[in-house]
């Protein structure tokens, strides 16, 4: 709570309402009313049993009809900004150009960073050809952050970079399809492709 901004904290736990409820309680304790109520409103924490009874009692006056208390709604810029840039710069924690950007490496994020959430698409077909014909690729994955990387539920996002493109494959949307599993098996079984990835990653 002391090492990150409220926006980063909310983003990290945006899929876990029970933890968001604890965060709201902490913000209320620190008199950060606008931050706390904005999170409550954005995630509808006033519904169900997401908040402990004492916290629910503090929150309720803000969401009665009409409300007995008011607050200034704060947007979380990590949810509203549509840009490929370091979080620290987006939130103005660090000055622009503190970090290396894709542009600095001769990469155009609008054309060279390709998001894929449909395997029956030209984008995926082109990605497979590019990836499987490469001598080396960069490989990384992101896991569901409410799980650990050791959980059987596996991957949320697969990131593969060739010399000219970076592909973001939304595993949450496509991992149940045979075409996805076939692609992954073919990728990791290619002896001619050098795969560069984090040291802890391994394939059985």
Q: Which two tokens stand for residue 173?
A: 């949307």
Q: What is the residue extent of each domain of the chain?
A: 6-79, 103-196
CA distance 105 to 163: 11
- Round to whole Å and give the CA distance between 183 and 204: 16
Q: Please tell me the predicted confidence (pLDDT) of residue 7.
A: 92
CB 59 within 8 A of CB 45: yes
Q: In Å, how far are 69, 94, 99 from 103, measured between CA atoms? A: 46, 18, 11
Rounded distance, CA 80 to CA 83, Å? 9
- Tell me the per-residue pLDDT of 63-92, one tens digit each, with 9 for 90 and over: 999 999 999 999 998 888 766 677 888 888
pLDDT in tens, 111-164: 899 999 999 999 999 999 999 999 999 999 887 655 444 444 578 889 999 988
pLDDT bracket for residue 28 (50, 70, 90): very high
Q: How far apart are CA 75 and CA 169, in angstroms?
A: 28
CA distances from 114 to 81, 84, 108, 179, 196 (A): 18, 12, 11, 18, 19
User: What pLDDT sits at residue 145?
Assistant: 56
Least Cα distance to 75 among 10, 2, 23, 145 occurs for 10
Mean pLDDT, the chain, rounded, equals 86
pLDDT of residue 150: 47
Task: Name which of 51-65, 93-107, 108-122, 182-196 the model is least confident about.
Answer: 93-107
Superfamily of domain 103-196: Ribonuclease H-like superfamily/Ribonuclease H (3.30.420.10)
């Amino acid at each position: 709570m002391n090492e990150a901004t409220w926006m980063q904290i909310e983003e990290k736990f945006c899929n876990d309402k029970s933890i968001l409820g604890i965060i709201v309680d902490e913000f209320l304790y620190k008199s950060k009313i606008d931050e706390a109520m904005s999170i409550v409103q954005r995630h509808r924490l006033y519904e169900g049993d997401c908040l402990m009874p004492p916290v629910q009692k503090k929150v309720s006056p803000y969401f009665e009809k009409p409300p007995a208390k008011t607050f200034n709604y704060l947007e979380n810029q990590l949810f509203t900004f549509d840009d490929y840039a370091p979080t620290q710069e987006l939130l103005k924690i660090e000055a622009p150009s503190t970090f290396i950007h894709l542009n600095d490496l001769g990469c155009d994020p609008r054309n060279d960073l390709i998001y894929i959430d449909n395997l029956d698409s030209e984008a995926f077909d082109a990605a497979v050809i590019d990836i499987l014909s490469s001598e080396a690729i960069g490989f990384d994955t992101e896991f569901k952050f409410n799980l650990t990387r050791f959980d059987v539920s596996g991957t949320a996002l697969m990131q593969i970079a060739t010399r000219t493109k970076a592909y973001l494959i939304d595993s949450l949307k496509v991992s149940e399809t045979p075409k996805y599993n076939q692609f992954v098996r073919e990728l990791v079984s290619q002896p001619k492709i050098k795969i560069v990835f984090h040291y802890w990653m391994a394939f059985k």
